[in-house]
Amino acid sequence: MKLDPFYLIVDRAQWIERLVPLGVKLVQLRIKERSDEDLRAEIRRAKAVCAAHRCQLIVNDYWQVAIDEACDCVHLGQEDLAAADLGAIRAAGLQLGVSTHDEAELETALAVEPDYVALGPVYPTILKKMKWAPQGLERLSAWRERVGTLPLVAIGGLNRERIDGVFAHGADSAAVVTDITLNADPEARTREWIRKTAAWR
């Protein structure tokens, strides 16, 4: 799986409609606590925009809905993975990304032969409470060694000043939420991310 170096993560299709037309090529729809009906409607909207702009859409958590809605890729954390039907995911032809936060989780992730592995939080994040201390860049280099040629995503506390560092330490893609969604000018910051990640595209 080839991942764009700029991996945008958002919590609603409206963000995708707003930012993907600017040139984003990889986006995750990370929706929490919405009804099944809303979730499906959001995925359909996101799919339409992504198809129109040749952007890869990754659905977080909801693998069954992703299958039903004929999506291409899901992202699962370790708890999601434990509850998921991997056979069904593979039979539907979905690609699979898996979160990791420590060695044991990396072993679990590698055992399911994912299409990419994410390591986080590389830096402190304000998006969600994490039970892991920030991993740091050296840990990212260690993960690079461990995953071989498998695409590696860095996530957690990334901002424009931290982009070069994660690529220098082995990441293939840098995932970001709040540096864009909480920015006073999300469009301008998105363009900046596209520009700053161009060297790894």
Ligand X SMILES: Cc1ncc(COP(=O)(O)OP(=O)(O)O)c(N)n1
95 lines the binding site for ligand 3NM (CB under 6 A): no
Which residues form the interface with ligand X (CB under 6 A)? 9, 28, 30, 60-61, 75, 77, 80, 97, 99, 118, 120, 128, 153, 155, 175
| Residue 108 within binding range of ligand 3NM, rule CB under 6 A | no
61 binding Mg ion? (CB under 5 A): yes
The Cα-based distances of 140 to 52, 78, 86 in angstroms read: 34, 18, 26
Dump the DSSP string for 96-160.
EEEEE-SHHHHHHHHHT--SEEEE--SS--SSS--SSPP--HHHHHHHHHHHTTS-EEEESS--G
- Asked if 189 contacts 158 with a C-beta cutoff of 8 angstroms, the reply is no
- Note whether 194 binds ligand 3NM by CB under 6 A: no
Nearest by Cα to 166 from 133, 130, 193: 193
Q: Assess 105 for contact with Mg ion (CB under 5 A).
A: no
From the list 43-51, 66-74, 78-86, 158-166, the region that binds Mg ion by CB under 5 A is 78-86
Of 32-40, 75-83, 113-121, 186-194, the segment contacting Mg ion by CB under 5 A is 75-83
> Which of 158, 147, 101 shows the shortest CA–CA distance to 124?
158
* Residues paired with residue 56 on neighbouring β-strands, in sequence order: 26
Residue bearing tokens 């991942």:
3
Smallest distance from the beta carbon of 18 to ligand X, in angstroms? 20
One of 34, 40, 77, 192 touching Mg ion (CB under 5 A): 77
The CB-of-116 to ligand 3NM minimum distance in angstroms stands at: 13
Report how far residue 69's alpha carbon sits from residue 110's, in angstroms, rounded to the nearest whole number.
Answer: 27
Q: Does residue 16 touch ligand 3NM according to CB under 6 A?
A: no
Alpha-carbon span 153 to 172, nearest angstrom: 6
What residues between 110 and 149 interact with ligand 3NM by CB under 6 A? Answer: 120-121, 125, 127-128, 130
The footprint of ligand 3NM (CB under 6 A) covers 99, 101, 120-121, 125, 127-128, 130, 155-158, 176-179
The footprint of Mg ion (CB under 5 A) covers 61, 77, 80
